[in-house]
Homo-oligomer: A and B are copies of this chain.
Amino acid sequence: MRQVSIVGIGQTKAGEHWERSLRDLASDAILAALKDAHAEKVDALYVGNMLSGELTAQQHLGTLIADWAGLGGVEAIRVEAADASGAAAVRLGYLGVASGVQDVVVVCGVEKTTDADAETTTAAWSAGTDAEYEAFQGLTMPAMAGLLMRRYMQEFGVGREDLAPFAVNAHKNGANNPNAMFRSTISVETFMKGGMLADPIGMFDAAPLCDGAAAVVLCAGERARDLGGRPVRILASAMATDRLALHSRRDPLFLHAAYLSALKAYEQAGVGPREIGLFELHDAFTVMAALSLEACGFADRGQGTRLAKDGEIGLQGRIPLSSMGGLKARGHPIGATGVYQIVELAQQLRGEAGANQVQAHLGMAQSLGGSGATAVTHILGA
């Protein structure tokens, strides 16, 4: 098994791209990443995407994007794991290079939601739940998160305002990220005043779905120097799953897949949560941020909000979260999000995060699919 490094990164702005199609967004990110890596030829393309079949009547994205980006004949596969599609694509790129079968691969996450109306998108997004038992009852993703948040508040005596710091922090960081969808800070007061989406999930608990594409070039460690990019090492790559339906889980407030994949990643990298200097987590809803912190060993059960309250999740805190805006402020282009997280972590570890620069040598990214049924965790090192 070979060491794998990230030698190139690229991204489009996350947001509403009315004038660009899915293939354009993906190609923009890929070409930027290849340029950054000084790479011209790759051995494979992995594309993470969830909804292009439902929203744009286009599948077969691996080949479409390889064709459009001019990668000429290269092996190309599309990967889907609901919201974690992008991170799963990174995982497969990692396996391709680690195996020795592929030397240089490019991984792209892309989603285009503005080609369909919001109702269609919301319905399609709920295909990440157990459709026959959850979506068919009318449960959308915000509704699923609402069930979790209500139970969390009840079980641990937490109020809505206790979750506010996750959103406030994300928006503060997003304000300095030129690729973020939302670049305004918000106050706790604004947070509390947001309209309800799925009680108790308010507008500022939820990340916005949007368009976007991000890409990374991976290569074998020994070749990283030849390619001229500033390499960031992938110290661990791990994935795990849980029961898909919320009602099947013994304890819905414990994200077992997040726990398992983090555990495997810690073992592979030979570190624990103490050594992790920043954490790009899956803050699709504020309650998911709290649950992730607990599952990954950064906080005890029911104590995830305390870290946020104590200011420990800011750029200078004990464990900076969502350092470039997270899903909440950068935006959540569903199948692209997992790759954005890796790109942003690489920006931080390369010292290219601008006003949001965190001093850290070790960072972790964790992407969740559905209501936490899939988790992909990567640990990167400078």
A: which residues have CB within 8 A of B?
Answer: 1, 21, 44, 50-51, 53-54, 56-64, 66-67, 73-82, 88, 91-92, 95-96, 98-101, 123-124, 126-132, 135-136, 238-245, 248, 256-257, 260, 369-370, 373-374
Contacts and interface: CB of A to CB of B under 8 A. Distances in A.
Contacts of A75: 238-241
Given A80-B80, A99-B99, A132-B21, A260 B73 contact: yes
B99 A57 contact: no
5 closest A-B pairs by beta carbon, nearest first, are A99-B99, A58-B131, A59-B127, A60-B82, A75-B239
Given A57-B131, A98-B99, A239-B75, A63 B1 contact: no
Given A59-B128, A60-B81, A95-B99, A243 B67 contact: yes
A241 B242 CA distance: 34
A82 to B, nearest CB: 4
Nearest to A238: B75
A217 to B, nearest CB: 18
Contacts of A126: 57
A contact patch SS: mixed
Contacts of A128: 59-60
Q: Which of A240, A243, A244, A260: most chain B Cβ within 10 A?
A: A244
Contact of A244 (B51, B63, B92, B130): B63
Contacts of A129: 60
Contacts of A369: 60, 63
A54 B54 contact: yes
Given A62-B81, A74-B240, A77-B239, 14 more contacts: A44-B239, A57-B126, A57-B136, A60-B127, A60-B128, A61-B80, A62-B374, A63-B370, A63-B373, A66-B241, A67-B243, A73-B241, A75-B240, A80-B80
A79 B77 contact: yes
Given A63-B370, A100-B99, A240 B82 contact: no
Contacts of A56: 131
B77 A88 contact: yes
B59 A241 contact: no
Contacts of A91: 77
Contacts of A78: 79-81
A369 to B, nearest CB: 6
15 contacts: A1-B101, A53-B53, A53-B54, A57-B127, A58-B127, A60-B81, A60-B370, A64-B130, A73-B242, A75-B238, A77-B91, A79-B79, A92-B95, A98-B101, A99-B100
Nearest to A50: B59
Contacts of A257: 73
